Amino acid sequence: MNQHLVLRVVTKLMVGFIILFALYVQFHGDYSPGGGFQAGVIFAAAFILYGLVFGLESVQAVLPPWVTHKMMALGVLIYTLVGIYSFFLGFNFLDYGALTPSHPEHGQHYGILLVELGVGITVAGVVISIYYAFVSRSSTSKDEEW
């Protein structure tokens, strides 16, 4: 347990900064390079790092698999609801001007933020779920076969 003390302490410090950077990329994606996909991958990387250092059981105690499945559905739902909302108001699907018809520029900003938020949540959920699936597999090869 204590043989990797430095690695464990540094990981605990870094995870918070990685998540903070993911939030920065998420909410500044429309002004600079980045956005939902990149933020989702960075967010997932924080949990994958935590899992690599502390083990699968520890990371699943922090973020259970059922939460990642809900994240995937929630992200797609946010993305779809933005499009359906504009569609039912008589605009084209994903026409962000429908969000604030009196100020289409504001609607563009809100629409981009919402859609990128949906993409980020979905990507984070998918990448973390893929990590859980790979790590939870049992090995079928034996040491003698190498």
124 neighbors 116 (Cβ within 8 angstroms): no
Instruction: Give the separation between CA 76 and CA 120, rounded to whole angstroms.
Output: 10
pLDDT at 44 (0 to 100): 98
Domain for residue 145, yes or no? no
29 neighbors 39 (Cβ within 8 angstroms): yes
46 neighbors 13 (Cβ within 8 angstroms): no
35 neighbors 119 (Cβ within 8 angstroms): yes
Domain for residue 119, yes or no? yes
Q: Considering only 36-45, 48-57, 68-77, 105-114, which range has the smallest mean pLDDT?
A: 105-114
Domain for residue 144, yes or no? no
**Rounded mean pLDDT of 58-83?**
95
Residue 64 is which amino acid? P
Condensed to tens digits (0 to 9), the pLDDT of residues 74-117 reads 999 999 999 999 989 888 888 888 888 888 888 888 888 899 99
Instruction: Give the separation between CA 5 and CA 9, rounded to whole angstroms.
Output: 6
Q: What is the CA radius of gyration of the chain?
A: 19
Domain for residue 29, yes or no? yes
Domain range for 36: 2-137
Domain for residue 133, yes or no? yes
Domain for residue 146, yes or no? no
pTM (2 d.p.):
0.86
Domain for residue 105, yes or no? yes
Domain for residue 75, yes or no? yes
Q: Quote the number of domains for the chain.
A: 1
